[in-house]
Amino acid sequence: MSSASTTYYDRLKMAAVDQGLFLLQDVIVRFKRMESILAFVGLFYAGKTAAAVSVRVIEGVRVFVLSQLRWHDFTRYGQWAVVTGGTDGIGKQYARQLAKRGLNIILISRDMEKLRATAQELEFDFRVRTQIIQADLSEGRHIYPEIAKQLEGKEIGILINNAGVMYDSPSLFLNVPEKKLIESVNINMMAVMMMTYIVLPQMVERKKGLIVNMSSISSFYPLPLMAVYSASKVCNVVVSISDQMCLL
């Protein structure tokens, strides 16, 4: 091979190397630009996440710490508080805390023995007056005229819609007994609306009152195998918003 040919091929190689280096440099420059964009996106996401966590922490401190340092006078809303499903669990603790703050308590449940025991406990522990109403909220609309009659003349400042029911175990919709479906609707939905319908007028008239509707995290997300329960709890969120607007 001649010297001229060798020089020509050397030049081609050098040109190829230079072109490769140029392309590599271009890729590096583009990558650095992309790196800056990705860094900005990451920084934005990290800031957003940090802000969300901070809000939750502040809210948690407000609810679970600061609330314990201040004594709220709930009696300013009225002399009586109504608690459905107030003989067990969360409902009973609501009844106890409200009685502790000086409110007289009206308990609504279907078990007369538990009603009497809980009422006696509240009267003994907190020296408040109580009233018990035996009612099976799963029976539907015909029970509410009697409940309304027994609540007449009471200055009801707070209503705790606590009563609720769910399946005995997760089940496909078609495997849930019809009775259980109707029971879920009557207790989780109708009871909330009807009890609110009974006590809300006097609250609006006095321009004060509190209504607490116990919902569930399942009301915000689909819950497979618990479809009716999940759907019935969505109602409580809607009614809560409506109640708030009515009391403004």
Q: What's the whole-number mean pLDDT along residues 70-82?
A: 88
The chain-wide mean pLDDT, for the chain, equals 81
Give yes or no: residues 115 and 100 share one domain: yes
pLDDT digits (tens, 9 = 90+) for 15-29: 555 565 666 666 666
Give yes or no: residues 42 and 92 share one domain: no
pLDDT higher at 54 or 81: 81
Q: State pTM to two decimals.
A: 0.71
pLDDT digits (tens, 9 = 90+) for 87-133: 999 999 999 999 999 999 999 999 999 999 999 999 999 999 999 99
Chain centre to alpha carbon of residue 98: 21
Among 70, 95, 117, where does a domain finish?
70
Give yes or no: residues 168 and 235 share one domain: yes
Among 20, 47, 70, where does a domain finish?
70
Give yes or no: residues 137 and 45 share one domain: no
Indicate which CATH number applies to the domain containing 134: 3.40.50.720
pLDDT higher at 243 or 140: 140
Give yes or no: residues 159 and 206 share one domain: yes
pLDDT, position 42: 76
Domain holding 230, by residue range, is: 72-246
The total number of structural domains that make up the chain? 2
Whether 8 is a known active-site residue: answer: no
User: Which of 77, 94, 144, 229 is an active site residue?
Assistant: 229
